[in-house]
Amino acid sequence: MGIVENLCSLKFLVKIVEARNVELKASLSTLFVRFYLYAGNNRKIELNTKEICSRSNQDVMFWNQSFGLECQGKETAVDELKQENVVFELRRRKTSSFLRKWSRSELVGRGKISWKSVIESDGMEIERFVVMGEMKDRILEDFNKPLLLKIALKVQASKMVNTKIVKDVCVCRDCRECNCLDYEAFVVACALDGI
């Protein structure tokens, strides 16, 4: 009833540390980082950091916020991941708006890092500054200093051999081909994990 496949477990850690050379022209606003993680099948997961208030005299802004994600896929998942990038966007939202939380954010800068550079690094982890590319309507005061975002990325891959994928649930609950008790334990474990 089930198919035996070799699966790979991938764990990602993304840490947004700080942004430098953030000197905004306009009024008071909040800044946050939005980034996109590859989720397979041409899908991406969008994640946002907390919003922090920017001040005109502040050159460095600290988040020090981490995100973890764990997923499972076929052994080819790591090869697919090597061809993808993590895209980071520094965004701002004006605080003067009454409905600030629901107002649209504005893109300040965008940068990316390839997963290949992370996977091929020592320990499959890096920490570096990403140069955020300029946008059409520049909203930063100093054009000479590049906008920098310090991030840390880490990937852990482990191989799980002979994992049984249950395609159909057995109705008889007493056959020897499928392991109904294992499936029920799996369902209970997932339900408890969600609590």
pLDDT at position 27 is 62
Question: What pTM does this model have?
Answer: 0.72
Domain boundaries, the chain: 2-164
From first CA to last CA, the distance across the chain in angstroms is 30
- Is the CB of residue 7 less than 8 Å from the CB of residue 73? yes
Give the Cα separation of 45 and 108 in Å (integer): 20
Up-side HSE of residue 183: CA atoms within 13 Å toward CB? 17
In terms of pLDDT, which residue wins out, 53 or 129? 129
Q: What is the pLDDT of residues 55-82, one digit of tens each?
A: 655 678 899 999 998 887 777 777 888 8
Adjacent-strand bridge partners of 11: 70, 156
| Residues listed for the chain | 195
Q: What is the pLDDT of residues 144-170, one digit of tens each?
A: 778 899 999 998 887 765 555 555 445
Helix (H) or strand (E) segment spanning residue 115: helix 115-119
For 169, residues 6+ apart whose C-beta sits below 8 A from its C-beta are 178, 180, 183
Helix (H) or strand (E) segment spanning residue 108: strand 106-114
- Superfamily holding 2-164: C2 domain (2.60.40.150)
